[in-house]
């Protein structure tokens, strides 16, 4: 979907697409929100993105598919489950005609939430405690 102006929010991003694509984007959005209800929804790099103790994922509509970007770790963890889809190190393509595998997306996001929780806990442990003077 070329020539789309930078959207103000995810609703605006979805609204400029054809109805069939809107349905797919809404399904993907709902799956992400169900698996990560505390995530902040933002626009980053012109795409819908979700942050929870760091970036969780992005998604974007393309000419014939919805790109889903759950970071390299999310792709690596679910390599077998996404084998039937075109994928790369940090992305997977869900063709318009096959739809969004909602349960798989929820699993991938739940994994990313746990991963970000673990990273945040480790980072908190490493922070030096300031002593009062």
pTM, two decimal places: 0.87
Residue 1's pLDDT band, with cuts at 50, 70 and 90, is very low
Residue 32's pLDDT band, with cuts at 50, 70 and 90, is very high
The pLDDT of residue 122 is: 83
Residue 82 lies in a domain: yes
Which domain does 89 fall in, by range? 10-126
Residue 76 and residue 28: Cα distance in Å, rounded? Answer: 20
**Closest residue by Cα to residue 60 from 70, 76, 48:** 48
Beta carbons of 74 and 111 less than 8 angstroms apart? yes
Which residues contact residue 25 at a Cβ distance below 8 angstroms, ignoring those fewer than 6 apart? 13, 14, 17, 48, 59, 61, 66
CATH for 69: 3.90.1150.200
Residue 114 lies in a domain: yes
Q: Say if residue 10's pLDDT is above 50.
A: yes
Find the radius of gyration of the CA atoms of the chain: 16
Residue 121 lies in a domain: yes
Residue 1 lies in a domain: no
């Amino acid at each position: 979907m070329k020539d789309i102006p930078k959207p103000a929010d995810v609703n605006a991003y979805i609204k400029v697409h054809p109805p069939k694509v809107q349905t797919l984007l809404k399904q993907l959005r709902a799956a992400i929100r169900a698996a990560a209800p505390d995530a902040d929804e933002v626009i980053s790099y012109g795409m819908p993105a979700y942050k929870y103790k760091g970036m969780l994922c992005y998604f974007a509509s393309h000419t014939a598919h919805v790109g889903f970007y759950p970071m390299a770790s999310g792709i690596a963890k679910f390599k077998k489950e996404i084998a039937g889809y075109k994928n790369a190190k940090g992305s997977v393509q869900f063709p318009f005609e096959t739809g969004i595998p909602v349960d798989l997306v929820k699993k991938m996001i739940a994994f990313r939430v746990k991963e970000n929780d673990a990273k945040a806990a480790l980072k908190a442990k490493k922070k030096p405690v300031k002593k009062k003077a």
